Amino acid sequence: MGKRSFSVPVEPAVMTWARDSMGFSRKEAALKLKVTEAMLTKWETGHQRPKLTEIEKMAKVYQRPLAMFLFSSPPVEPSVPSDYRTAMSEPLKPLTPGTRVVIRKARGLLASAIELQKELRIETIPFTLKASMHDNPELVAATVRQDILRGNFNITSISDSQGALRLWKSQLEYAGIFIFQLSISQKEIKGFSFIEDGIPVIVINKSDELNSRIFSLFHELGHILLGDCGICNMLEAEHATAIEKLCNHFAGAFLVPERKLLSHKIVTGHGTSFIWDNNELKEIAGHFKVSKEVILRRLLTLGKTTTPVYQQWRADQMKVFIPYGKKRADKVKSIVEERGIKYVSMVFDAFEKSKINTLEMAEYLDVRTNQLSRVEEYISD
In the chain, what is the straight-line distance between the N-terminal and C-terminal CA atoms, in Å?
Answer: 57
Q: Check residue 150 and report its DSSP letter.
A: -
Contact 330, 375 (CB under 8 A): no
Q: What is the pLDDT along the chain (381 residues), one digit of tens a residue?
A: 445 567 888 999 999 999 999 989 999 999 999 999 999 999 999 999 999 999 999 999 999 999 999 999 998 887 776 545 444 444 556 778 888 899 899 999 999 999 999 999 998 888 899 999 999 999 999 999 999 998 788 888 888 999 999 999 999 999 999 999 998 864 667 888 998 888 999 999 988 889 999 999 999 999 999 988 777 765 555 556 788 889 999 999 999 999 999 999 999 999 999 999 999 999 999 999 999 999 999 999 999 999 999 999 988 887 765 555 555 667 888 899 899 999 999 999 999 999 999 999 999 999 999 999 999 988 876
Q: Which amino acid is at 131?
A: A
- At 270, is the secondary structure helix, strand, or coil? coil
Rounded-to-integer distance, Cα 136 and Cα 131, Å: 9
Rounded-to-integer distance, Cα 208 and Cα 150, Å: 27
Sign of the dihedral through C-alpha 141, 142, 148, 154: positive
Contact 45, 52 (CB under 8 A): no
Rounded-to-integer distance, Cα 312 and Cα 290, Å: 20
Query: Considering the entire predicted model, what is its pTM?
Result: 0.86
Rounded-to-integer distance, Cα 212 and Cα 232, Å: 13
Q: Which amino acid is at 223?
A: H
Rounded-to-integer distance, Cα 351 and Cα 357, Å: 6
- Quick one: pLDDT at residue 338? 92
Packed helices 161-174 and 341-352: angle between N→C axes, nearest 10 degrees: 60
Tens-place pLDDT, residues 250-299: 999 999 999 999 999 999 999 999 999 999 999 999 999 999 999 999 99
Rounded-to-integer distance, Cα 217 and Cα 171, Å: 12
Q: Which residues pair with 364 in a beta bridge?
A: none
Q: Which residues pair with 203 in a beta bridge?
A: 180, 192
| Rounded alpha-carbon distances, angstroms, from residue 181 to 115, 131, 193 | 20, 25, 12
Rounded-to-integer distance, Cα 93 and Cα 197, Å: 28
- Quick one: pLDDT at residue 92? 54
CA atoms within 13 A on the CB side of 342: 26
Q: Looking only at Cα atoms, what is the longest distance across the chain?
A: 84
Edge-to-edge strand order for the sheet containing 178-182? 178-182, 199-205, 191-196, 231-232
Rounded-to-integer distance, Cα 227 and Cα 200, Å: 10
CA atoms within 13 A on the CB side of 108: 13
| Rounded alpha-carbon distances, angstroms, from residue 240 to 96, 186, 301 | 21, 19, 15
Contact 255, 294 (CB under 8 A): yes
Rounded-to-integer distance, Cα 113 and Cα 72, Å: 28
Rounded-to-integer distance, Cα 208 and Cα 170, Å: 19
